[in-house]
Amino acid sequence: MRKSLQAFFLIMGRASVFWLGALGVFILSLLVTGLAEPDRTFIEHYADSVFVAAFAFPAGAGLLAGAVIQEFQHTTFATFLPAIRFRLATGFMVTGLLVSLVVVGLIATISSTPHDLAVLFAVGVGAYCLGGILIDPLSGWMTSLNVTLVLAVILSSHQLDLIAGEHPWPTFMMSIGVAAFSVSRLFARATFRRKPFRVTAPLPGRFSLEKTHQYRRHKMIQGGPVKSGWLTGYLGQNMWLWTRAAIHETYGAHVLKTFLKAVARAWPLVPLFLIYAWEDKGEMRFSEALAKSLNDALFRSPFQPQFGEHGGPYPMVMIVIAVAGILTALLSPVALGGALSYPLSRFQRATVQFRGGLADTAILLLIASPCLLAIGHLAGWFVGYEIRFDFMPFFLRVLLLTLVLMPLGYWGRVQLQEATWRKTENKLVGLILGICGFVVLVGFLTLVVTQLFTSPIMELGVLSIAVLVSRMIYWRSLVSFYTTADLA
Amino acid sequence: MNPVLEANGLTKRFDRVTALENISFKVSGPTIVGLLGKNGCGKTTLIRQLMGLHLPSEGSVSTLGRPGAELGHDELASIGYVPQEIRLLDWMTVGQHIHYVANFYPRWDGEREQRLLDELEIDTEALVGTLSSGNLQKLAIVLAVCHHPQLLVLDEPVSDLDPIVRRKLLELLLELMRDDAATIVVSSHVLRDVEKVVDRVICLDRGRLVTDAALDELKELYAEWLVVSDNGRLPEEFSESFLIAQQGNGREARLLVKDASTELASFSSTHSVSVSVRPLNLEEIFPVLIGEQL
């Protein structure tokens, strides 16, 4: 037993697992406490906070443990260790039982509503084990089915809670059945056999960047050859062509295909949505309530009415634009480098890097922002709202401020890829803090700018100049960096 | 005595590609077998079959007396494996990683571990993710041999090692065979190294087994004859059946011959030539085995 636990906990005991766990607990706590507050969302008609807590916390723990085990299975030595399956399964199960016990204990302490704790415990164990196979790096279809199942459980948790109350033993047995199936799948000999030598995306950590590159290259190779006529010719000194080549190298030739494949894999969500779409709980149908919530959150929920005359802050719009901005910057293509040697000077690499950022910005301005507006309005139209534009000044203000600050994200990306932050021990924490910091900064500056300007023309002019100045500073820094630093 | 490795009519297909076709052999230890072949000929696929990672499309394969797919605790505890592509736990230090793996083996030899770490100059405090490919290969070798494996399978184990470490590794293989009575399978393109240790050669070409023989037999079988004419003129072409390939300039010729030791005297007298025989090394025999003569 000691050796089994040791085998499991030695691969769990690292900083990234701790931070991911802490992040998961934080998010799930928000979800459960949100559900526990009455009349805040329409979801409360569907979800029972106690049942969701009993299900989601163990499922989250199982997801994390399963991810670590699956990462381990993808090494080239794990399969050949004697008794590895038994030892890991023992550690995994002991952890699952403990987590479920703690969650049920907390529910019994905090919740005043009566529940059969033994059933909730079994639900927790089942959820934990299901979490272990929730994401299968080698089977996108299995992952989408599992995610749909989890969503279905959360959306049906109110009913499931009632069923569990009326039929405790069948619920108990069903949960144990799910647990047995999941464990047998996660630790099957065939699972261990097929995982080595398959490249997968790693858990966040010091070496995750290199591994993620390997994974993405692997996926690109899997996509097969592509007819790219422009790539077969000599690119010469045309830096826009080299920028295109950098985008090609970063994302491969199958971006659209990969995106469509990911969308197609989400098909189980369609029947799930259709099942709920016409269900009427309270004042409106599920689909209408969903659309109304989206439109309200984006365009109809001014946070502080006192800013109204200047276009009040709409927190969701602000968060969505700021997050889209920082993610766009962080995911931007990096100047050509890595394994291949290109006939580009350091200055030219800086140019390619800078222009890649311009391409991203164009996507954010011309595609992402109009799409956000269109989706929000479409949702409003679906529930009979009139299209309104009073939030537009605020929308533009946030967008421009995001553009002003985006070079911070680009700079971080370059540092992460090329130099100082490359060997950062815990990139996940840095990434989360960086994204949160960016959103807070955009929010803070939005409030300042809202108070500062009374003339919209003046505001537009100043912010546009700020966008240009920030890009110029970024360009100068980039050239200085690329011409003087040790590159990866 | 049960064979350590056995394949009977082993065929492996991936979709429409046949990676291995009707492979049959037996290996009984202790011995060192060299698994040779060009890139993409099926060596790694064969090794993965032996290790139970891939399952046969047809035929069967057994390792330590059990089908590859059914290798259990006892067999795995007696097998060491160094794959061509090595992926370990990057975030552990070398020392932690060795400790982790050692826990799984009942016969882990701490002394051998320490000796190898010293000889191969591996820093136990270094993070595995920071190791160079050569040091990663050394670590994988340490992980594969310290539990006294009865069967050791090495897939391109020396590709990233410097000549000094390569020599040490070859000495280690001989020690393993001597002390542990181990059976060792080495797949490698560095034939000069392989030749120093292997007893037997299994050669694959395009998924088919083309040679399974003792190295000494191969060396006796193939040779190069350096032929000089006694009267100043050689025929344009020799037509003897034991000839595999020939190159010449009219006065001198190099002939690649197979199983021709008894023919030497009659060949000399028939053509009025002087012949000096040069034995071939494995690097020279290899192209012949896969049908690509000089």
Q: In this structure, what CATH number is given to the domain that contains residue B23?
A: 3.40.50.300
- Regarding whether A214 and A165 lie in a shared domain, the answer is no
Query: Which of A 210-249 lie inside 8 A of B, CB atoms?
Result: 210-211
> A92-110: per-residue pLDDT in tens?
999 999 999 999 999 988 8
A115 and A260 housed in the same domain:
no
| Region of poorest pLDDT, from A119-123, A295-299, A404-408, B2-6 | A295-299
Confidence of residue B234 (pLDDT cuts 50, 70, 90): confident
Please, which pLDDT band fits residue A272 given cuts at 50, 70 and 90?
A: confident
| Whether residue A212 is found in the same domain as residue A173 | no
What pLDDT score does B91 carry?
Answer: 86
For residue A80, the model assigns a pLDDT of: 92
User: Looking at A114-177, which runs of residues are DSSP E strands?
Assistant: none
Same domain, B180 and B248: no
Beta strand spans in A264-305 (E): 280-281, 284-285
The token pair that represents A4 in the structure block: 């089994």
Q: Is residue B212 part of a domain?
A: no
A76 CB neighbours in chain B (<8 A) are 83, 85-88, 140
**Residue A423 in this model has a pLDDT that exceeds 70:** no
Average pLDDT over residues A372-390: 85
User: What does the pLDDT read at residue A221?
Assistant: 60
**B211 in any annotated domain:** no
Residue B177, token pair as written in the block: 């065979």
Adjacency order of strands within the sheet including B58-63:
B17-27, B5-14, B58-63, B66-67
Q: Which helix (H) or strand (E) holds B279?
A: strand B273-279
- Picking from B96, B104, B129, the nearest residue to A84 by CB comes out as B104
Residue B127 per-residue DSSP state: B
Check whether A337 has a pLDDT greater than 70: no
pLDDT of residue B45: 93
Last residue of a domain, one of B174, B206, B238: B206
Of residues A339 and A15, the one with the higher pLDDT is A15
In terms of domains, do A263 and A144 share one? no
One domain, residues A144 and A7: yes
Q: What is the pLDDT of residue A340?
A: 52
A2 CB near a chain B CB, below 8 Å?
Answer: no
Whether A176 and A67 map to the same domain: the answer is yes
Q: What is the mean pLDDT of chain A?
A: 82
Q: Which residues of B touch A72 (CB under 8 A)?
A: 89
Say yes or no to pLDDT of A18 above 70: yes
Greater model confidence, A461 or B161: A461
Q: How far apart are the C-alpha atoms of B78 and B109, rounded to whole Å?
A: 13
Same-domain check for residues A188 and A277: no
Span A325-352, average pLDDT: 75
Distance separating the N- and C-terminal Cα atoms of chain B? 41
At A402 the pLDDT is 95
Give the per-residue pLDDT at A42: 65
Domain termination site, one of B182, B206, B230:
B206
- Cβ distance B104 to A7 less than 8 Å, yes or no, reads yes
A232 located within any domain = no
Q: Per-residue pLDDT tens for A180-217? A: 999 999 999 888 888 887 777 667 666 666 666 666 66
Whether residues B84 and B196 share a domain: the answer is yes
Burial A53-88 (b: 16+ CB within 10 A, else e): bbbbbbbbbbbbbbbbbbbbbbbbbbbbbbbbbebb
Report CB contact under 8 Å: A193, B53: yes
Query: Among B160, B181, B209, which Cα is nearest to B35's?
Result: B209
Q: Is residue B213 part of a domain?
A: no
Residue type, B205: D
Over range B124-150, report the average pLDDT.
92
Residue with tokens 């007298």: B269
Would B294 be classed as within a structural domain? no
Instruction: Report the alpha-carbon angle A80-A86-A91, nearest 5.
Output: 115
- The chain-wide mean pLDDT, for chain B, equals 89
Measured CA to CA, the distance from residue A335 to residue A323 in angstroms comes to: 23
Contacts of A191 in chain B (CB under 8 A): none
pLDDT grade for A174, boundaries at 50, 70 and 90: very high
- Counting the structural domains of chain B, the total is 2
- State whether A141 and A245 are in the same domain: no
> In chain A, what percentage of residues exceed pLDDT 90?
27
Read off the amino acid at residue A372.
L
Task: Give the residue from B74, B89, B156 with the most A CB atoms within 10 Å of its CB, the best one to mutate.
Answer: B89
Mean pLDDT of B44-49: 93
Please tell me whether residues A355 and A272 are part of one structural domain.
yes
pLDDT at A477: 92
pLDDT of residue A307 exceeding 60: no
Contacts of B48 in chain A (CB under 8 A): 197
In a domain, A73, yes or no: yes
| Beta carbons of A202 and A154 less than 8 angstroms apart | no
| Host H or E run for residue B253 | strand B252-258
Same domain, yes or no: A190 and A249: no
Reading phi first (left if > 0) and then psi (alpha if -120 to 50, else beta), residue A255 is in alpha
- B83 vs A79: CB contact, 8 Å cut-off? no
Report yes or no on A128 lying in a domain: yes
**A271 or A176, which is more confident?**
A176
Reduce the DSSP state of residue A303 to 3 states and report it: coil
Backbone angles phi, psi at A399, to 5 degrees: -60, -45
Q: Is A229 part of a structural domain of the chain?
A: no
B67 and B165 share one domain: yes
For residue A210, the chain B residues in CB contact (below 8 A) are 129
Q: Is 90 exceeded by the pLDDT of residue A62? A: yes
For residue B91, give the nearest of A76, A189, A205 by CB distance.
Answer: A205
A156-160, A264-268, B147-151: range with lowest mean pLDDT: A264-268
Token pair belonging to A421: 């932050």
Q: Is the pLDDT of residue B215 over 60?
A: yes
Find the mean pLDDT for residues A306-330: 77
Closest CA to A105 of A147, A54, A69: A54
- Same domain membership, residue B233 and residue B135: no
Q: Let me know whether B136 and B200 are in one domain.
A: yes
pLDDT category of residue A451 using cuts at 50, 70 and 90: confident
Q: What are the E-state strand segments in A323-383?
A: none
Write down the pLDDT at residue A8: 92
Provide the pLDDT confidence category of residue A88 given band limits of 50, 70 and 90. Answer: very high
Read off the amino acid at residue A297: A
The answer to whether B288 touches B222, Cβ cutoff 8 Å, is yes
Average pLDDT over residues A135-147: 81
Amino acid A348 reads: Q
Band of pLDDT at residue A230, cut at 50, 70 and 90: low
How high is the pLDDT of residue A211?
66
CB contact under 8 A, A82 and B103: no
- Please state the domain count of chain A: 2
Is pLDDT above 90 for A156? no
Residue A260 clears pLDDT 60, i.e. is over it:
yes
Section A266-286 average pLDDT:
77
pLDDT tens, residue by residue, B59-106: 999 999 999 888 888 999 999 999 988 989 988 999 999 999 999 999
Asked if residue A202 is part of any domain, the answer here is no
In-domain check, residue B261: yes
Q: How far apart are CA A442 and CA A439, in angstroms?
A: 5
Say how far apart CA B153 and CA A290 lie, in whole Å.
58
Confidence grade of residue A82 (pLDDT, cut at 50, 70, 90):
very high
CA A225 vs. chain centroid, Å, equals 29
Tell me whether residue A201 is in a domain.
Answer: no
Buried b (16+ CB within 10 A) or exposed e, B126-149: ebbbebeeebbbbbbbbbbbbbbb
Say yes or no: B88 and B175 in one domain: yes
How is residue A385 written in tokens? 């709202």
* Same domain assignment for residues A181 and A216: no
Among B52, B53, B129, select the one facing A206 at the smallest CB separation.
Answer: B129
Among residues B184, B206, B228, the one where a domain terminates is B206
Provide the domain limits for residue B86.
5-206
Q: What is the percent of chain B with per-residue pLDDT over 90, rounded to a whole number?
A: 47
Please tell me the distance from the alpha carbon of residue B52 to that of residue A187, in angstroms, as a whole number. Answer: 16
- Say yes or no: A427 contacts chain B, CB-CB below 8 A: no
Least confident window among A93-97, A222-226, B107-111, B168-172: A222-226
Stronger pLDDT, A142 or A103, i.e. the higher one = A103
The answer to whether residues A353 and A435 belong to one domain is yes
Name the band, by pLDDT with cuts 50, 70 and 90, for residue A34. confident
pLDDT of residue A222: 62
Whether the Cβ atoms of residue B58 and residue B10 lie closer than 8 Å to each other:
yes
| CATH number of domain containing B251 | 3.30.70
Range of the domain at A84: 2-194
Residues B193 and B228 in one domain: no
Distance between alpha carbon A370 and the CA centroid of its chain, in Å? 22
Is residue A277 assigned to a domain? yes
Inside any domain, residue A168 = yes
Q: Are residues B52 and B197 in the same domain?
A: yes
- Kindly state the average pLDDT of the residues A468-486: 89
Core vs surface per residue A189-198: b (16+ CB within 10 A) or e: eebbbebbbe
Interface of B with A (CB under 8 A): 48, 51-53, 55, 69, 73-74, 76-77, 79, 81, 83, 85-91, 96, 100-101, 103-105, 127, 129, 140, 143
